[in-house]
Amino acid sequence: MCGIVGIHGPRAEGADLSASLEALSLRGPDRQAFILTGKACLGHARLSIIDTSAASDQPMQDPSGRYSIVFNGEIYNYRTIREELEAEGLVFQSSGDTEVLLHLLIKEGVEGLKRLNGFFAFAFYDAQKDELLLVRDRLGIKPLYYSDSEGSISFGSEMKALSPLLGSSDIDPIGVDLFFQLNYIPAPHTANLSVKQLLPGHYLRHSKGITTIERYFQIARPSSKRISDIHTTLYSLMETSVERRMVSDVPLGSFLSGGVDSSIIAALAVKQKKNLKTFSIGFRDQGYFDESQYAEQVADHIGSDHRTLHIHEEELLHSLDAVLDYIDEPFADSSAIAVHALCHFARQEVTVALSGDGADELFGGYNKHQAHLRAFNTPWSDSLFRMSRPIWSLIPSSHSSRLGNASRQLGRYLDVAKLPAQERFWAWSRWTDAKTLQQLLSPEVFGQANEAKQAYLPQEASMEAMLRGETQLVLPNDMLVKVDRMSMANSLEVRVPFLDHEVVNFAHSLRASERLRPGQGKFILKASFADLLPAEIFERKKKGFEVPLEHWFKGPLYQRMHSVLSDGRLASSGLFQVGYLNALDEALSKGQIAGQVHLLWALMVFHSFLSKQSS
């Protein structure tokens, strides 16, 4: 796992990537280096995982010096590919996967991408052709940003790596509109007008000042053939996926929250590595958010060497500053705070950790998936819900209590269920409704993303299309960004077995009815692994990895949030309506923020972003 940065074109001449590599030093603390070759300058920050010797240092070139590569990620089937290349007479100088990838690309070019099993973002340069290839993995597990201007391409693993190369840039109103709807900015957009994200499953070719972008991977569609034994197939695919991700020359462990997904991964990993170290966190001061007892139950059942970090509120709040410091573009999934604490804890003992991310999107594990099912079926019970809404509305909406959360979810369902299917997808993906956004954002910003959002809507009104949309929108732009940034902030590599592309394609080849049922999210996943874990792990209701934002804004973060709303930075940006910022500040002072908690956090994140822009 590493960070990459570079320039190709006229601006590469005499380029110095030192500042960019310093910005990526947490992604690659073991070594930072760059080279000038032809009309390209390529840089790499290394976190040594496989073949920790200098033989696998990057940037890496072939013996002729014609071809160069900087690579972030892991190729799990590199040994198989290496054996094939060796059979053709190729002699390797290292035992890692980077050199294998370099020679595969030399031999097969972009056709070789189809053979890769892993996660990656890399730049491959042919000095003789003066051609640069930028590639991002199929699911978007690894990030890749780029800027295309004046015949040159600049690229990097994070926006902060591009800042020293590009200087200041205007804020993109489309990115701002999308951010305050979704709490993140989906690719290809960013908050920066001059910077884009390469979409998952795509490659960019830059040659003679011309840039072209092509897709090399499409998620599978439901198959017309019925698979005779879905459970056995899924179990086998997951077992193989976990086995692939156990290869490491440094200590490896697994996250274990006690939920279904991470428990399956840890249980399969223990079969490959006895005394596997597993990690979870518990919230001492906030029992509603604490699930550590379930993780410990699973650890006892599977026999892992388990560690629980029982974290106090002030320690979690300390992670908040680290999160805001590391994030280089607006990203307001508040569970990143807890993920950062978990990654920091695990990094004390391991350099690689397995994670259960991706299962919810593939197999329908979120509450909104159940809402989609109900809306498609339009049951008679909806009318009863609508009749009882005046009673439920008396209960304050909140993420911090079971009853308040149920009231919030019911109200949201009744508002969204009447919309067309594609619009329902967007409405259940967003955190802030259109009415609130119109009050918050300036007229120059509000509605700027109306056209852009069409690219993210499912093309069909089916449950299968909704799940495919989750894999293309929420997964790479929210969940995987969170894991990548928070793990890299702690120099920890996180691997996600559910997102082996063979598992992903299998999941999406199934009909929705084979993956989830009314009241039973991830039905197929639970049925396939029922004998692996205690029954109560599968039976208890899903709870997100959340932090107590509402409590914080009424207590330890009150003064800080007040300063964010009133210090003038947001108001002077021209992106917001000052009257609404003042109204939010007044509501904050009265403690009347139950329905605005996530918007407040998004504003705090955006305020931090603006502060960095002006520094």
Q: Which of 304, 305, 256, 258 is nearest to 537 (CA)?
A: 258
- Residue 297 tokens read as 């139950």
Angle at which helix 597-614 crosses helix 558-566, to 10 degrees, equals 60
3 state DSSP class of 402: helix
Instruction: Count, in order, helices (H) and strands (E) of the chain.
Output: 29, 17
Stretch 131-145: mean pLDDT, rounded? 98
Which DSSP category does 224 fall into?
S
Q: Are 100 and 48 in contact (CB under 8 A)?
A: no
Percent share of the chain, pLDDT over 90? 80
Report whether pLDDT(402) > 60. no
DSSP state string for 488-549:
HTTT-EEE-GGG-HHHHHHHHHS-HHHH-BTTBTTHHHHHHTTTTS-HHHHHSPP------H
3 state DSSP class of 98: helix
Report whether pLDDT(381) > 90. no
Angstrom distance (rounded) from CA 327 to CA 50: 27
DSSP state string for 71-88:
EEEEETTHHHHHHHHHHT
310-344 pLDDT tens trace: 888 888 888 899 999 999 999 999 999 999 999 99
Report whether pLDDT(429) > 80. yes
388-401 pLDDT tens trace: 545 444 455 555 55
The confidence band for 596, taking pLDDT boundaries of 50, 70 and 90, is very high
The confidence band for 376, taking pLDDT boundaries of 50, 70 and 90, is confident
Given this model, what pLDDT does residue 412 score? 65
Q: Indicate the pairing of strand 252-255 with strand 352-354.
A: parallel
551-580 pLDDT tens trace: 899 999 999 999 999 999 999 999 999 999
Q: Which of 480, 477, 558 is nearest to 183 (CA)?
A: 477
Which DSSP category does 596 fall into?
T
Whole-prediction pTM value?
0.93
Q: Are 265 and 359 in contact (CB under 8 A)?
A: no
Return the minimum-mean-pLDDT range out of 222-236, 301-315, 333-347. 222-236
Return the minimum-mean-pLDDT range out of 161-170, 412-421, 459-468, 504-513. 412-421
- Residue 450 tokens read as 């109306």
Angstrom distance (rounded) from CA 391 to CA 180: 30
The confidence band for 91, taking pLDDT boundaries of 50, 70 and 90, is very high
For residue 558, CA distances in Å to 356, 480, 511, 554 come to 34, 30, 47, 5
174-220 pLDDT tens trace: 999 999 999 999 999 999 999 999 999 999 999 999 999 999 999 99
3 state DSSP class of 398: coil
Report whether pLDDT(515) > 70. yes
Q: How many CB atoms lie within 10 A of CB 442?
A: 14
Stretch 380-384: mean pLDDT, rounded? 47
Given this model, what pLDDT does residue 435 score? 94
Angstrom distance (rounded) from CA 336 to CA 323: 7
Stretch 233-251: mean pLDDT, rounded? 96
- Residue 249 tokens read as 């020359």
Angstrom distance (rounded) from CA 81 to CA 114: 12
Name the CA radius of gyration of the chain, rounded. Answer: 24
- Which residues 6+ apart lie within 8 Å of 85 measured at CB? 92, 100, 103, 104, 107
The confidence band for 167, taking pLDDT boundaries of 50, 70 and 90, is confident
Q: Are 24 and 165 in contact (CB under 8 A)?
A: no
Report whether pLDDT(143) > 90. yes
Question: Which residue in this structure is represented by tokens 């390209």?
Answer: 40
The confidence band for 236, taking pLDDT boundaries of 50, 70 and 90, is very high
Angstrom distance (rounded) from CA 69 to CA 34: 11
Report whether pLDDT(163) > 70. yes
Domain positions in the chain: 2-215, 230-362+465-539, 548-615
Superfamily of domain 2-215: Aminohydrolase, N-terminal nucleophile (Ntn) domain (3.60.20.10)
517-534 pLDDT tens trace: 998 999 999 999 999 999
Angstrom distance (rounded) from CA 257 to CA 263: 7
Given this model, what pLDDT does residue 392 score? 44
Angle at which helix 260-272 crosses helix 230-244, to 10 degrees, equals 60
Which residue spans within 303-375 are E strands per DSSP?
Answer: 305-311, 352-354
Q: Are 318 and 268 in contact (CB under 8 A)?
A: no
The confidence band for 419, taking pLDDT boundaries of 50, 70 and 90, is confident
Please give the CATH topology (third level) of the domain spanning 230-362+465-539. Rossmann fold (3.40.50)
Stretch 413-432: mean pLDDT, rounded? 87
Report whether pLDDT(172) > 90. yes
Distance in angstroms between the alpha carbons of the first and the last residue of the chain: 29
Do the domains 230-362+465-539 and 2-215 match in fold?
no
Report whether pLDDT(290) > 80. no
Report whether pLDDT(380) > 80. no
Average pLDDT, the chain: 91
Given this model, what pLDDT does residue 323 score? 95
Q: Which amino acid is it at 243? A: E
